[in-house]
Amino acid sequence: MPYILSTGTAQPPYTFQQADVKPFVRDMFSDVFADIDRLLTIFENTGIDTRHFCVPIDWFKEGHQFKEKNELYIENATALGGQALSNALKNAGLDMKDIHHLVFVSTTGVATPSIDALLFNQLGASPHTKRTPIWGLGCAGGAVGLSRTFDYALGHPEEIVALVAVELCGLTFQRNDITKSNLVATSLFADGAAAVIVGGDQYRSEGRLQIRTTRSMLWPDTLDVMGWDISSSGFHVIFSRDIPTIVKEKTVPDLLDFLQENKVQEPQHYIFHPGGRKVLEAYREALELPDGKLRVAEQVLRQNGNMSSCTVLHVLNQFFTEKIISPGEVGLVSALGPGFSAEMLLLEGI
């Protein structure tokens, strides 16, 4: 079975406190919403203290066309992705030339050649490295990327696979979009990167995590729950206020079925994508989890905000580096994304 050999993360240089962002958002939306101060209480209710971005706060005060945003995306995604991958390789005692397959996940910009090709050149990969760029999975992308990495490692147990997820949500900001969805987005989303190194059976070793199995779920007639509306100025965020309800009514029943199918009565650990405090509360209530079970996800949300696909990998990084999952214990990974979809994995401590 495939094993997680190491993880790594990277953060962009500009750190914003929620208190720094709130006055900016008030100025932007005050002419549109008479009850702006009531709406801005969301900043205190997100469960977020700090977020990190690849541009300073003054950048958000001006309008920017898609071309400029995307050029910044390519530059910063390559730098952050390379840093996260370098950190993961160092933690595994490996070199880029040891990687046989590079999986790259992102949804906040576009590039051809894809970012994985740029990383290939930046880090000096073998010219025979296989590459799989994956786009459009949103917040589910980190978990889906880990599942596809698992699939490849399962079929090629002698090879090493690297997963890199980079999201620059800040660059999708729309200065002239004065919808409630955009207002909510200004309180939640952030930039970040993460990487995971996975190997097959021969890389089994104490302290590593075995990936036991995965499941993908796509619910019919939910295409309008989450995604992008794309215009000449770039990506406009779409997400429904009903996501916490969907978690309770759709996601949790499928999670429980996934556990039952794999004869896991109750996992010891929950490695969930913290899309927001309300999403974590919905998981906690529906699964009847005791206090502390979502501690790591809450910590990542508080310190980083919602970094889309790479957020769940930041949670995984905490579990891996702090050796929270003991031998024989099971961890459940889950993340939600456009479609509306969910990705689930079972990990076991070695």
For residue 233, name the pLDDT band (cuts at 50, 70, 90). Answer: low
Shared domain for 173 and 244, answered yes or no, is no
Shared domain for 153 and 233, answered yes or no, is no
pLDDT digits (tens, 9 = 90+) for 61-111: 888 888 999 999 999 999 999 999 999 999 999 999 999 999 999 999 999
Q: Which CATH number does the domain housing residue 244 bear?
A: 3.40.47.10
Q: Give the closest residue to 139 by CA, choosing from 13, 305, 278.
A: 305
Shared domain for 225 and 315, answered yes or no, is yes
- Distance, in Å, from the CA atom of 153 to the CA atom of 145, rounded to the nearest integer, reads 12
Shared domain for 83 and 186, answered yes or no, is yes
φ, ψ of residue 180 in degrees (nearest 5): -65, -35
Shared domain for 241 and 184, answered yes or no, is no
Which among 54, 139, 169, 310 is annotated as catalytic? 139
Look at the block and give the residue holding tokens 């970040």. Answer: 192
Residue span of the structural domain in which 57 resides? 3-203
Shared domain for 220 and 301, answered yes or no, is yes
Shared domain for 226 and 314, answered yes or no, is yes
Alpha helices in 93-194 (DSSP H): 115-123, 141-155, 180-188
Shared domain for 178 and 231, answered yes or no, is no
Shared domain for 110 and 247, answered yes or no, is no
pLDDT digits (tens, 9 = 90+) for 10-20: 999 999 998 88
169 labelled catalytic: no
- Where does a domain end: 176, 203, 230? 203
- Where does a domain end: 147, 171, 203? 203
